[in-house]
Amino acid sequence: MSPSEPKAWTLLAYAVADDKGESSPLDKAAQREVKALCEAADLGQMNVALQLDLKQRSGVFRAVLRARKSRDFDDVSPEKYDLWRDVVKKIQESDLELKRERKDLNSATRDVVQSFLSYGRTECPAKRYAVFFYGHAFGPMGLFYDQASGEKMPRTLRVTELKSALHAEEGPADVVLFRDCFVDNLETAYELRGTARFMIATQAEAPIAGEWPWLSLISVLMGSAESLEVATKLEMHLAGHFRQKENRGPLADVPCALIDIDATEEAIAPLTALTAALDASRDDPVRCRACADALDHARLGSPVTHTRPGDAALLDVPTMCDNLQAIGDPIAGFARALNDCVQQRIVKARHSQKGRFGGISLYYKPVTERHRAHSFIQASEEADIVADDTYYKSLALSQATGWHRVALRPLGT
């Protein structure tokens, strides 16, 4: 089948169900998400390219759904697999082309992500692209957790690798949607400059429960509105989705926010100034203690506490700025400037059921035993801590602002 003529939008969906545990809670949830996505795309006659890596089934599937009118992936019959057989039964206005890589690829590597995205753009050319990622994530430390056949150790896809994978000669993706925990952070958004215009993500946990409202999301992507308007409507539908208790699973709050990736450049000057002021406060024990308390009281909660979801390795940026403004000049002025930039330019829309989340986070290493116990992001093994610290220093935000000097050596330590 020859590729279709370019449509207004194509959705590129990349789902990874592997995790660190022995069980596979994401396998069934990922399959339900794929079914819902495909059925909605069929009704909207939208082209979709999808790659799915399940934990309990070897190999990786690629599927292309095209409205009617490589690697060593083999063409396979959908009738051989429960998931794809169910998809074929439901779709009426689309053709499904299914391929399977018999080897179990490492889906947490740049090359595998990049290969799929290139494949999707080739098979389903469009004027604009939305990219959807599904799986586990660890805030600015990366996404997914996987290993290929024959590899001894699993790995995480670093945000620096994600940026490289997203880069395309055709230009940046218009919007990237993350159904991945803790990805709404300033480090990730700043790193993705030049590869995507907008991102929609959560500062807290992305619940396994339920499927996203794909009928509503696909209907938005069928339009010809400007990308910001499209992205705003996508965030609005997700906010409405998470207002319903049944879509949050056990969580009291599932925040989501729309981030203007290009606008993160405007945060560099105020964050650099704030970083320098916080670093200098170490020379004044009283001021340092006040700053340390302001930062600690902006930590986002715990992934093991359903009533206060979040991660103790992350600060809510607006809350941090509000806390620091109470200390007085010069820190108050720098914090106010950063807060204004975040709330007026970077965060275009946001939802938080309990109002605790201001729209974007920053990494700040947990130092107390209590905070470390309330973090999925912070590594516990010394070798992993060293590797994460080295990587964090290499992030574009760290290089541009020096924030790593505070994040990796919290005040008072």
pLDDT at residue 23 is higher than 70: no
pLDDT at site 2: 44
Please give the DSSP secondary-structure letter assigned to residue 18. Answer: -
Tell me the C-alpha distance between 5 and 8, whole Å.
10
Tell me the C-alpha distance between 390 and 385, whole Å.
9
pLDDT digits (tens, 9 = 90+) for 172-221: 999 999 999 999 999 999 999 999 999 999 999 999 888 999 999 999 99
Ramachandran category for residue 148: left, alpha or beta (phi over 0 → left; psi -120 to 50 → alpha): beta
Judged by average pLDDT, the poorest of 21-30, 33-42, 292-301, 386-395 is 21-30
Tell me the C-alpha distance between 173 and 155, whole Å.
25
Please give the DSSP secondary-structure letter assigned to residue 194. Answer: T
Tell me the C-alpha distance between 335 and 329, whole Å.
10
Confidence of residue 68 (pLDDT cuts 50, 70, 90): low
pLDDT at site 102: 75
In this predicted model, which residue has the larger pLDDT, 215 or 154?
215
Sequence ranges of the domains in the chain = 7-262, 265-346+360-407
* Domain 7-262 -> CATH class: alpha beta
pLDDT digits (tens, 9 = 90+) for 113-141: 999 999 999 999 999 999 999 999 999 99
Q: Is pTM, for the whole model, over 0.75? A: yes
State mean pLDDT over 65-82.
73
In this predicted model, which residue has the larger pLDDT, 177 or 83?
177
pLDDT at site 69: 62
Order of all β-strands in the sheet with 196-201: 73-75, 94-101, 60-67, 47-53, 7-16, 126-134, 173-179, 196-201, 256-260, 347-351
pLDDT at residue 256 is higher than 70: yes
Q: What percent of the chain has pLDDT over 90?
A: 68
pLDDT digits (tens, 9 = 90+) for 279-328: 999 999 999 999 999 999 999 888 888 888 899 999 999 999 999 999 88
Please give the DSSP secondary-structure letter assigned to residue 345. Answer: I
pLDDT at site 97: 87
Judged by average pLDDT, the poorest of 57-61, 220-224, 254-258 is 57-61
